[in-house]
Amino acid sequence: MTSRLVRIPSLVTPASSTLIFLHGLGDSGDGWVSLARYLQVEFPKIFNKTQFVFPTAPVINVTVNNNFPMNAWFDLYEFGSSGNFNFESIENQYPKRDTEGFIKSLDYINELIDEQVNKYGIDPSKIVIGGFSQGAALSLAISLTAKKKIGGILSLSGFPVLPIPKAKTLLSDSGAVNLNTPTFHGHGDVDPVIPLMLARYSKEYYVHQVGSLTNYTLREYNGMAHSTCDEELKDIADFLQKVYQD
């Protein structure tokens, strides 16, 4: 996979930590550069040696949007239900999934991790993989395929994608090295795109059903839709500080 990358260098060189952040459906890497600016301006002493990588997904025809071409990490065949489903039946209710495209994007993220280690000399324990919506689905799933133990996983409005049997197979093949990697999942309680129940199921999925993560924090934000908010941004900064300064 080839992708345009927006790179924000660290304020002080050489960099000692990296945040790789993946955007949501129809967006681009440029759309999240403000996150780097926020962290560097508001917390310069904490993130002065952190560099940021914002890749842009390839343009594909997205089925759910009448095959309209847009930046997407994987195809979406239909939007999930916002109804009250239960954890036991959600695996059968969940819409058809683009497993092949999803795994291809996971492979690309692992290439970005390798680049940070091999080209920039960043310790894997100081690399955080983050994302919003589609990107957050991938950041959570990197726990299934990463063969390096990374520092943290940041999911903003994320959700599970892969069927459980496939997820377990990928986890076994990778060696399950990120079982205790700190994971922060922020989600709005009035999200109309990825309903809150999917966020709660995501924790159930990764911690209990697949078993790829054990250190998983889910934070729900009152009144937040499919977006972010000041309170969540502060929690992101706190989470990243703990990872980078441990």
pLDDT above 90 covers a percentage of the chain that reads 89
Average pLDDT, rounded, for the chain: 93
Local confidence band at 95 (pLDDT 50, 70, 90 cut-offs): low
Residue 133 bears catalytic tag: yes
Catalytic pick among 16, 75, 123, 226:
226
Burial of 59 (0-12, 13-18, 19+ CB in 10 A): exposed
What was the pLDDT predicted at 92? 63
b/e sequence 174-187, b meaning 16+ C-beta within 10 Å: bebebeebbbbbbb
Catalytic pick among 191, 202, 212, 235:
191
Distance from C-alpha of 79 to C-alpha of 202, rounded to nearest angstrom? 16
Alpha helices in 21-64 (DSSP H): 33-42, 44-47
Q: How far, CA to CA in Å, does 124 sit from each of 98, 146, 176?
A: 29, 11, 15
Annotated domain spans of the chain: 5-244
> pTM of the predicted model, to two decimals?
0.95
User: Does domain 5-244 bear CATH number 3.10.580.10?
Assistant: no
Residue 226 bears catalytic tag: yes
Across 21-25, 36-40, 55-59, 95-99, least confident range: 95-99
Single-letter amino acid code for the residue at 66: N
Residue 212 bears catalytic tag: no
Residue-wise pLDDT tens digits, 150-181: 999 999 999 999 999 999 999 999 999 999 99
